[in-house]
Amino acid sequence: MSTKRKRRTNQQSDGLATGERLKRHKLATDLDDDWSSPWGWVGTSVTDASSITEEHLLATCGLSCKSHYVLCANKYRARPAKVVDLTDSAADSTDFSSDVVVISEDETPTCSKKSCSKNPNCLNYLGQDKWEDAEAALKSYLSATDIGPDPHLKSRKSGLPVGLRNLGATCYANAYIQVWFQDVSFRNGVYQCLPAQDQGQPFEDSPIFQLQATFAALQESQMKVFNPVKLVESLHLRANEQQDAQEFSKLFITHLDDELKKQPDPALKRLVSDQFEGKQAYATTCKRCGTRSENDSDFLEIEVNLEDNATLESRIQTLLEAETLSGDNKYQCSKCQSLQDATRQLVLRTFPPVLHFSLLRFVFDVATLERKKRKHNVSFPVVLDMNQFLDNPGADGENVYELTGVLVHKGSSAYHGHYEAMVFDVTHDSWFTFNDEIVTKMKAPGSERPAEDKSKAPAKKRRRVEDSDDEVQEIQVPPASTGRMSSKDAYMLVYTRRGAGSEGPTDIQKPPQRALDVVHQINEDHANACTAFSARQGELQAKFAELRPRMQQIYRSWNVTSHDQASLIVSQQALSKFLSRPIQKRGGSSLSHTNSIDLTESQDDAPTEPNGNGLTDKASETPEQSQDPGAEGEISTTEVLCMHGKLDPTKAGDMKRISRATYKSFILPSGISFAPELEPTDVCRQCVEEAFQEKLYQYEHPRNVAQFDRVSNDSEPGVGYWVSKHWLKDWRQPKPKMHVALKPDPAPDSEAFRDHVVCEHDSLNINIGARTRISKGAYALLRTLFPSWTTLSDEGDRCEVCDVLVESSREDKRELRKKAEEEKARLKHMQENALNGNTALLEDVACALVPATFVREWKLWILRPGHHPRPAGLSNASYICDHDLLALDLNSGDLDRSVCLVRRSDWDVLEELYNAAPLISVENRSTNDHGTLGSKFVHNPPLCEECRIKRKSDYDLTEVTVRVLGSDDPDPTPETYSANLNPPTIDGRQTSIVSYRSKNATEPQRQSKRIRSVKRRQRQIAISKEMSVKDIKLLLQDELDIPTICQRLFYQGRELHDSAARVSALGILANGVLDLREAPEDAALLDADADAHAGRAPEADFGGFGGTLLARGWTSESLLEDTASEGASPAPAEVTKACAMCTFENPSGAVACEMCEARL
């Protein structure tokens, strides 16, 4: 069988392929490698700095004619159309293409932004494209001339309502204003208000007029956003404080109702009640006699509690359910003349034309004592029949309401977030989302899907908006059912009775003339601003039409076409700045404050622009661009200069060569110059010579290392020589760490490496790991590189003196070990038991107190005597106060980590070895208190309580023990409190003696305190002086899972009632003990904690409306007087009690609610 023939491999030809072009510049490069790179001549043709010629200087910056950087053609230069001659192309029947090698005379290397990034002869990628696109260049030019924002962009778009500007945190007010404005009846009523006769201030400053002006702007404004700053100022609202939208609605409507009652028109007096007010009653029925008593009242909105995935109808039905009054809540029946069981329920009588539902999303969390937001999903209908909820239902269709507004609160916290409104606009007959300034059209709530999509399951689109978890979503409904909406952020629902809100655009009244004048002034100012802007824009467009061709003429002609052509060297940054200056905003960090070409004229006055608050502010005039008198029209080229003021070869990548003829003919006449003006011959010779030295080292050093390796590998018998191992390892690297620019490398025997070979006695170092042996040839090579270097041969002996010293050091270590073992044997009990928490063997034994730090250092020393120092001495002076008394109370838990007990016999040894003093004698004596065994520390000197408290109060952070009291434990009091309830501990271990006796023992049984301590929960927590009682309770809530509302804390028998009290004010000492009682929830305690919390909200809490015109007891006159009188405190608001059942505000002294008769 014949062998399989192998496939012939293609032979790669070294020549050109058929038809391939021979590139002349590549051929030239191959012939002369010295010029293949800017520094290719270093170490080859030039080995000494004195041989550097002018051509070499130019080559370092890529400016030499021999350089590989070619003169790139200008890609922006206008070229004539290329003519292709096709004659005789097909006539020639002979094809020589396969035999011809084409040598191109006009081929040029490919020019690209990447390949030419460092080519000084390429000027194609500096920003010319900005000028090639005329439309984009004009836009940039207009922006750079500070013409200001286009007022046309502020014009109102057709088919969109007007938005309201958010003044900081006024989104809650903006949302409600949009809802009220779309109520045509309410809007018309506001328009009819007249100035009050007894008004003490101008009508234009009143909230009613500013509301008229705001409504007029939303109706007649030609701008898409109105600024309600005057309305906010008239109400004295704090624009930077987030407020509750529901509270604002109640207070504002109440204030507006008070002002409307001053109007002469009876219809206006009843505007609020006729439009928003309904009738309700609290009905109480005695179960014994059936007597029914009713208490009628009015309501402006229906407050609904939330449950997850509930419907609005079900929550209304729950609100109307009857409640049983029994036990302590029995009803005082007027007929029975006694307390009787009864039922009580809310009864709805009549509904207003506009019905508001307040969804109670913000609740109080008793665990954290803070408000929180409930993210319950609620479903509500687009059409709501309220007849089903009336006590006496009316005719069918009489109380059918349609959804006309939804207010949403976006955000997960009750202390911050954002309000938006979705409202039906009567004028445009569409639904819109009002997000302050942003108004967008939305799909009608509850609208049905197209018929072709009904067979498919609806795809739910979810998107996150700001910090909200959900957006209002539509849910699929059967075609025959009423549309519904569901939301986790809905906060207020607005329904309008069918027929009551049927006014169309023709029913909307014209605003009053005073308010209309304000809006007309805004519209007029806006129209004038648009006209002035258009005129100014036309002037600038004419200037741009002249400027652009001139700029194109410059950058299309600034290339040089030969190396002999006169040229100028500037930085790439300077050219980019020259191109971008006319179309870049003034004052930029990269630009000077001078004007560009032919733009030295001052700008005209900027047009005035309305501020949207009923008045107009003139925009400040744009001044003439300031110019630097020291460098007028100059663009700096310092980016390519060295410290000597010449061209820096290390910055060659930023250099560009431009034609001097173009510079003189076009750039200089336009008022622009490059400073300083440098030519290619201005390359700095000094910088080139310094760089040459470094590059020559980089060229020669690898060759020296390679030669050293070759010599070292040659096995030569004979004498060897020692060299520093660390020096040799570093020197053999391509870039040694020891090398310093422009300096020779340190010799092997330099100061940093000499000790590696030679010891201090000028003999061979005994540490063989620091030196290595090299051959004789390698030694000779290094001597040529470092002539002054001398070293020792391998024939010499190690230093005898160093050997003797090493042996002596070993003897010293043996002596230290022996001494440590002797001390360990004499202090065996201290070594085994000190600091381990086991003091059981020290009961009824004479002891002494020693610092724990001494014991720790002593134990480390006896463990490794050669590595850790022996303690210098032992002093107890820090525990003795200025009165020569003890500053520690060992019976109150002061036996902590800083001190420990040793036997008296050990103390005597410490006195002998370490001069221990002064002696603090301690004895843990057994006690028998009526059959209960215990122990007590007796010490000398006695305790100084004053100095002890001072010492224990000096801390920034400390650990305290929290003991949870059992159900059988009494509440601690200052009289019954004892620090011995729990024994003192060290590292969480018991320090008192523990013994276990036989069950048959006749003596009193000593119960193990360790066992008893396990039964009671306790924790160690870290506290600081700046923490409050509430902060401690929150820590304990995390540690013990006990809600803060159920925690009662005691310290030394005193209960800590004030949750805001600081640790420093309570006098809690370091390593103290707190007692904790877990109590059931108590209403009185809840109220007390809630009051304490109300004074200090942890987040950006609602500041309330105190000090505003909406606060109770405030009027416009009183606010003006308060503003005029410095330091005057506001009058306190009337103190009331809110009923938990019906939220009615009762007088502070009331015992029962006046509305529903519930106990307060």
For tokens 């006690």, name the residue. Answer: 927
Q: Verify cis geometry, omega within 30 degrees of 0, for the bond prior to 149.
A: no
Residue type, 399: N
Between 887 and 453, name the one with better pLDDT.
Answer: 887
- pLDDT band of 1140, cuts 50, 70, 90: low
Q: How many CB atoms lie within 10 A of CB 359?
A: 24
Q: How far apart are CA 199 and CA 915, in angstroms?
A: 92
pLDDT tens digits for 666-678? Answer: 889 888 999 999 9
Does residue 1006 have a pLDDT over 90?
A: no
What pLDDT is attached to residue 453?
45
Span 743-747, average pLDDT? 92
Which residues, 6 or more positions from 631, have their beta carbon under 8 angstroms from its beta carbon?
592, 594, 675
Mean pLDDT of 894-909: 85
- pLDDT, tens digit (0-9, with 9 covering 90-100), for 102-148: 444 455 568 888 989 899 999 999 998 999 999 999 988 888 887 88
With beta carbons less than 8 A apart as the criterion, state whether 23 and 104 touch: yes
Nearest one of 745, 701, 752, 698 to 724, comparing CA atoms: 752
Residue 38, preceding peptide bond in cis (omega within 30° of 0): no
> What is the per-residue pLDDT for 68?
85
User: Percentage of the chain with pLDDT > 90?
Assistant: 31
Q: Are 175 and 166 in contact (CB under 8 A)?
A: no
pLDDT at 334: 87
State yes or no: pLDDT of 1127 exceeds 70: no
pLDDT at 918: 92
Nearest partner of 747 among 717, 711, 790, judged by Cα? 790
pLDDT given at position 950 = 86
Q: Of 453-467, 544-558, 790-804, where does the model show the most confidence?
A: 544-558
The mean pLDDT of 70-83, rounded to a whole number, is 74
Cβ atoms of residues 463 and 375 within 8 Å: no
User: Six-digit token pair at 1078?
Assistant: 């877990």
Amino acid at the residue 497: R
Among 260, 265, 237, 85, residue whose Cα is nearest residue 176: 237
The predicted structure's pLDDT at residue 957: 87
Work out the pLDDT band at 1000, boundaries 50, 70, 90: very low
Predicted pLDDT at 820: 92
Task: pLDDT band for 1013, please (50, 70, 90 cuts).
Answer: very low
Among 14-23, 202-211, 380-389, 888-897, where is mean pLDDT lowest? 14-23
Percent of the chain past pLDDT 70, that is, above it, reads: 75
Among 367, 242, 362, 370, which residue's Cα sits nearest to residue 1098? 370
pLDDT of the residue at 54: 92
Which amino acid is located at 139 in the chain? K
Do residues 406 and 338 lie in contact, with contact meaning Cβ atoms separated by under 8 Å?
A: no
> Average pLDDT of 1156-1160?
58
3-class SS of residue 206: coil
Secondary structure element (H or E) that encloses residue 979, with its range: none
Q: Is the pLDDT confidence value at 444 over 90? A: no
Q: What is the mean pLDDT of the chain?
A: 78
Encoded amino acid at 505, one letter: P
- pLDDT value at position 833? 86
Distance, in Å, from the CA atom of 485 to the CA atom of 407, rounded to the nearest integer, reads 13
pLDDT of 1036 above 60 = yes
931-956 mean pLDDT: 85
Task: Give the highest mean pLDDT range of 571-580, 830-839, 883-892.
Answer: 571-580
Beta partners for residue 474, in sequence order: 485
How far from the centroid of its chain's Cα atoms is residue 17's Cα? Answer: 63
Tell me how far apart the alpha carbons of residues 1025 and 1061 are, in angstroms, rounded to a whole number.
Answer: 10
What is the model's pLDDT at position 866?
82
- Length of the chain counted residue by residue: 1160
pLDDT at 1010: 34
Q: Is the dihedral of CA 779, 781, 782, 787 positive or negative?
A: positive
Q: Which residues pair with 412 in a beta bridge?
A: none
What pLDDT is stored for residue 1081 in this prediction? 55
What whole-number distance in Å separates Cα of residue 180 and Cα of residue 272? 11
pLDDT over 60 at 364, yes or no: yes
pLDDT of 831 above 60: yes
Distance CA 1114, CA 236 (A): 11
Eight-class DSSP state of 521:
H
| pLDDT-based confidence at residue 1118 (cuts at 50, 70, 90) | very low
Provide DSSP, 296-354: EEEESSEEE---TTEEHHHHHHHHTS-EEE-GGG-EEETTTTEEE-EEEEEEEEE--SE
What number is the average pLDDT over the span 57-79? Answer: 87
pTM (two decimals): 0.56
Q: pLDDT value at position 30?
A: 46
pLDDT average, residue stretch 172-201 = 85
- Where residue 1073 falls among pLDDT bands split at 50, 70, 90? confident
Token code pair at residue 839: 């003091």
Q: What's the Rg (C-alpha) of the chain?
A: 47
Query: Can you give the pLDDT at residue 910?
Result: 93
Q: Average of pLDDT values for 367-384?
A: 86
Mean local confidence (pLDDT), 795-823: 86
CA distance linking residue 618 with residue 609, whole number of Å: 6
Query: What is the model's pLDDT at position 1020?
Result: 86
pLDDT band at 919 (very low <50, low <70, confident <90, very high): very high
Distances (CA, A) of 1121 to 201, 258, 1116: 12, 20, 9
Count CB neighbours of 636 within 10 A.
16
Alpha helices, DSSP H, located in 471-605 = 513-555, 572-580
Number of neighbouring beta carbons within 10 Å of residue 238: 18
User: What pLDDT, on a 0 to 100 scale, did the predictor assign at position 906?
Assistant: 92
The identity of residue 136, as a single letter, is A
Cα separation, 1047 vs 1029, whole angstroms:
11
Examine the pLDDT at 1148 and tell me if it is beyond 80. no
Q: CA 146 to CA 141: how far, in whole Å?
A: 9
Asked if the bond preceding 109 is cis, omega within 30° of 0, the reply is no
Of 543-552, 898-907, 1008-1017, 1130-1139, the poorest mean pLDDT is in: 1008-1017
Separation of alpha carbons 1003 and 997, rounded Å: 9
Task: Give mean pLDDT, residues 940-952.
Answer: 87
Between CA 130 and CA 325 the distance in angstroms is 82
Taking a C-beta distance cutoff of 8 angstroms, is the pair 456, 535 a contact? Answer: no
- pLDDT at position 238 is 85
- CA distance between the termini of the chain: 114
User: What is the structure's pLDDT at 470?
Assistant: 47
Residue 59 — φ and ψ, nearest 5°?
Answer: -65, -35
Contact 649, 684 (CB under 8 A): yes
**Which residues does 1094 contact at the CB level (< 8 Å), separation at least 6?**
none
Cβ–Cβ < 8 Å for 422, 472: yes
What is each CA distance from 567 to 637, 654, 710, 966, in whole angstroms?
15, 16, 51, 96
